[in-house]
Amino acid sequence: MLRLAVLVVSVFLLGGTTVACGQADSPTGHGRHSETVTASPGTSVPTGPVIAIEGMGFSAVGPVAPGTEITIINNDEVEHSVTSRTKGLFDVHVEGKGRATLTAPQDAGEYAFYCLYHPAMLGTLTVK
């Protein structure tokens, strides 16, 4: 139950801080989601690329264009980060069960990243 409440709150936060438009005709409608929803259709599906974090690992993300907004969805209970190996390029922290946005670098290339909290978590972002 608490999990569901947190999920609902984060959905509201997302709707409030991003310009939620288009698909959210009735974000709080009567259709309740099951508790295991990761990216439920209808209310909060990101339109762009996504890096999902689950089980202490990053999902793969396909090549993205420079400057693309990438949604990071943390399905774990603990906080993670998406931090570039090249210091200072990007460093986005995502609370447990939270979401954040990473803006892809402007230059094409392969950007290795990891989690500051769990350095064994590794991923690569390709920009082209």
Q: How far is the CB of 78 from Cu ion (least distance, A)?
A: 7
Q: Which residues are CB-contacts of 43 (< 8 A; sequence separation ≥ 6)?
A: 11, 15, 23, 24, 27
| Whole-angstrom distance, CA of residue 93 vs CA of residue 64 | 20
Pick from 58, 80, 99, 102: which binds Cu ion (CB under 5 A)? 80
Stretch of 4-12, 30-38, 74-82, 91-99 lying at the interface with Cu ion (CB under 5 A): 74-82
| Whole-angstrom distance, CA of residue 126 vs CA of residue 70 | 12
Q: How far is the CB of 99 from Cu ion (least distance, A)?
A: 15
List 1's β-bridge partners, or say none: none
Residue 93 engages Cu ion in binding (rule: CB under 5 A): no
Residue 118 engages Cu ion in binding (rule: CB under 5 A): yes
Q: How far is the CB of 61 from Cu ion (least distance, A)?
A: 16
Residue 115 engages Cu ion in binding (rule: CB under 5 A): yes
Give every strand in the sheet of 50-53, ordered side by side: 50-53, 69-74, 99-103
Residue 117 engages Cu ion in binding (rule: CB under 5 A): yes
Contacts with Cu ion, residue ranges (CB under 5 A): 80, 115, 117-118, 121
